[in-house]
Structure 1
Amino acid sequence: MSTETHPAAKYKRVLLKISGEALMGDQGYGLHPPTVSRIAQEVKSVHDLGVEICMVIGGGNIFRGLAGSAQGMERTTADYMGMLATVMNALAMQSALEGLGVFTRVISAIPMDQVCEPYIRRRAVRHLEKKRVCIFAAGTGNPYFTTDTAATLRANEMSCEAIFKGTKVDGVYDKDPKKFDDAKRYDTVSYDEVLQKNLGVMDASAIALARDNNKPIIVFSLDEPGGFRGILAGEGTYTKVQG
């Protein structure tokens, strides 16, 4: 296997952030194996370009800490349950990727040695250098932080060149495009504008962390076949959040 990045690829190392809901397919809950396989194919197509890939997957398809605490559960406990849900999603994605011949490591912020590796930054960097996909699970390992913040944190620690946020829509709009026909998509938007207008790209702490480290966020549709690879080749529709 070549260790060179394909000349068409705009970035050598990226982090892909997807929600847990992205793995549900048309179901209202849980994991939809054909959808997990489809996303794994998208990741493989980028991996085949020689791009080093990190992933962070949310847990909202199984359990959302904030929703649990809203129903009377103690927030810290609810958040830890949400972190464990992300480990389940990470293992499902690992299984799908390795079924496609892509070597993958699940790396958890909460140690659980029988299931996955503990988070050790230097070891994770070495996995990336060996062209293994690293899926970071269990958020930051702390309650009160979202997987958006975990994604931005890991992207900085791994020296990723960009954060790719896979969503249901092809970029950032000034209002919900599913509700308003006149919604306008931004080609580029600043971190400060995202915060001021509450555009919902990621939560405020994740955006601030990306801004402070000048880490671009590329928002694109995960439902568009070949979209992830296309953007890395400089094509497709997306919004770039930058300084």
Structure 2
Amino acid sequence: MANNYKRILLKISGEALLGTQGHGIDGDILTQYADEIKAAHDENYEVSVVVGGGNIFRGVKGATEGMDRVQGDYMGMLATMINSMALQDALERKGVHTRLMSAIRMEEIAEPYIRRRAIRHLEKGRVVIFGAGTGNPYFTTDTAASLRAIEVEADVILKGTRVDGIFDSDPEENPDAEKFQTITGEEVLDRRLSIMDLTAFTLCRENETPIIVFNMNVVGNLKKVLAGEENIGSTVVWEDS
């Protein structure tokens, strides 16, 4: 059954961009993700993206041990900008018009994040990439994804991961892990499943924003999720929605 989504927010982890490398950005994975996003864009979905920074920031983790938390968090925000710029370039080379918006002012490489401008870009058919998290320390890129999705009135958050959805235990450690096709928000909390951090999850719950977790590394999965194909990903449903 097709989903009635028009405006989507795709959350991609920075670690996913590692591919088979130990650090940095895997060019093949970057190109694959750009192809997936372009395919959705070509179907006239309004696409926004938040990319984490773990692939960059994790490489300097040793240097940040003992560092002030706020300083480290700002370094993480800059790491998301590196990934966002790479994704922007990959999309532009495929002919997709994009806008990179940053929560921290850096006019030479990105527009400052302004909600109404972001919505206008989406309405004009541009892929909007949100960088630098929320612009505040102590908040994750999951929280940034939830916040931006709510602000631009996205119909759904699509969380692209390296597993096929939401399971009752880690499928990479337990081959017998059970996958949920749909699961309520309360059950996610009761089972303490790690979908996203609690702040991000609470934002989605309070605004009844649907969340779909799926395997971004399988070619064609993004379009299949948007088409509502069964057995692709897992959906978090809200009891009052």
| TM-score of the superposed pair, with normalisation by structure 2 | 0.94
Residue of structure 2 aligned with 1:150, choices 121, 127, 144: 144
Query: Secondary structure at 1:63's aligned position in 2?
Result: helix
Is 1:173–2:179 an aligned residue pair? no
**Partner in structure 2 of residue 187 of structure 1:** 181
Once the two structures are TM-superposed, the CA of residue 98 in structure 1 deviates from its matched residue by 0.5
Query: Secondary structure at 1:142's aligned position in 2?
Result: coil
Are 1:108 and 1:137, in contact at CA under 8 Å, matched by a contact in 2? yes
Once the two structures are TM-superposed, the CA of residue 196 in structure 1 deviates from its matched residue by 2.5
Is 1:239–2:234 an aligned residue pair? yes
Residue of structure 1 aligned with 2:82, choices 81, 88, 97: 88
Amino acid at match of 1:124: A
**Partner in structure 2 of residue 28 of structure 1:** 22
In angstroms, what is the RMSD of aligned CA positions?
1.7
**Partner in structure 1 of residue 131 of structure 2:** 137
Which of 159-168 and 59-68 deviates more? 59-68
**Runs ≥4 residues deviating over 3 A:** 64-70
Is 1:207–2:201 an aligned residue pair? yes
Amino acid at match of 2:234: T
Once the two structures are TM-superposed, the CA of residue 67 in structure 1 deviates from its matched residue by 5.3
| TM-score of the superposed pair, with normalisation by structure 1 | 0.93
Matches within 5 A, 1:45-84: 45-64=39-58, 71-84=65-78
In the alignment, the residues of structure 2 paired with residue 174 and residue 128 of structure 1 have an alpha-carbon distance, to the nearest angstrom, of: 36
Once the two structures are TM-superposed, the CA of residue 65 in structure 1 deviates from its matched residue by 11
Once the two structures are TM-superposed, the CA of residue 195 in structure 1 deviates from its matched residue by 2.1
Once the two structures are TM-superposed, the CA of residue 68 in structure 1 deviates from its matched residue by 6.5
Are 1:59 and 1:83, in contact at CA under 8 Å, matched by a contact in 2? yes
**How high is the sequence identity, in percent, across the aligned residues?**
54
Is 1:102–2:96 an aligned residue pair? yes
**Partner in structure 1 of residue 31 of structure 2:** 37
Residue of structure 2 aligned with 1:10, choices 4, 16, 22: 4
Are 1:66 and 1:79, in contact at CA under 8 Å, matched by a contact in 2? no
Amino acid at match of 1:238: G
Which of 56-65 and 31-40 deviates more? 56-65
In the alignment, the residues of structure 1 paired with residue 5 and residue 63 of structure 2 have an alpha-carbon distance, to the nearest angstrom, of: 39
Q: Where does the alignment leave 5 or more consecutive residues of structure 1 unmatched? A: 1-7
How many pairs were matched up? Answer: 236
Once the two structures are TM-superposed, the CA of residue 28 in structure 1 deviates from its matched residue by 1.1
Relative to structure 1, is the Cα distance of residues 184 and 69 closer, same or farther in structure 2, using a 3 angstrom cutoff? farther
Which of 229-238 and 109-118 deviates more? 229-238
